[in-house]
Amino acid sequence: MIWLIPAIGIVLLFATALVFCIAPGKMTPEAKKTAKYFYGLNCAHRGLHTKDKNIPENSIAAFEAAVKGGYGVELDVQLSKDGKVVVFHDDDLKRMCGIDAKVSNKNWEELSVLKLHGTNECIPLLTDVLTLLGDTPVIVELKLARPNNRKLCEETLKILREHGQIWCIESFDPDICKWFRKNAPDVMRGQLSRRPENMEGLTFAPAFLLGHVLTNFISRPHFLAYEKSRYPLTAKMCRAMTPMNFIWTVKPEHDFTKCENENDTIIFEFYTPEPKYK
């Protein structure tokens, strides 16, 4: 039975390493204050856009509709070629604007005249959206911007601080969350994730690590924002330890009651729930 001693040691070592990798961060007093505004809040995914695309995602019209409905808002930001923080999801313009070009290769002057899904809505600046939102709580997702992660973080934080409203940040990129962890620890930050097989644009190893939240030792998030799906075991463990759990994207076909019971904040689209559920 002597062989059990090293075996138990190996198991304990593995368990310790696993917990170290997936553990969230401890909320600062400032982050705790922010968290109260998001607790039990339904947040409109990319604004309250419509399935028929008459109100496009991440448009001024979508954000106006969300404010009118009393919802929180989730939106996406990235940099234009000349360093403006624009509100847009995809890294290219093909799906939304019908143009085969990268957002990062266009100056703001070029982006500002493009129409979203053939409507009169255009790509907005983050500054314009925040002015419209006022006191509406907003989740700001910073898109992958390598090698310009630092500039995106700096410019976004500068704008958010100047507007001084209720906001938190999230990202799929652990390095972006790490930047906020080191440079703005008071800011409530979240790690976005989804099942590895659903990760887009990542090779097997990064998708596996991120999908199983094994990169949390980098980001040490205050909340985990996981896709509505079957959670891997490590994601379940992380959810049990994380101060807050967000879920995305809840749709009409999903079990609303279950989502509300199991999550602190819901990011939704294509239906109109009550603004608060807790």
Kindly list the catalytic residues: 45, 89
The C-alpha atoms of residue 141 and residue 89 are separated, in whole angstroms, by 9
| Nearest in space to 191 (alpha carbons), one of 208, 205, 212, 166 | 212
Q: How far is CA 233 from CA 206, 212, 247, in A?
A: 17, 8, 16
DSSP state of 232: P
Q: Please answer whether residues 118 and 55 qualify as being in contact, where contact means their C-beta atoms are separated by less than 8 angstroms.
A: no
The C-alpha atoms of residue 135 and residue 264 are separated, in whole angstroms, by 20
Amino acid at 165: Q
From first CA to last CA, the distance across the chain in angstroms is 53
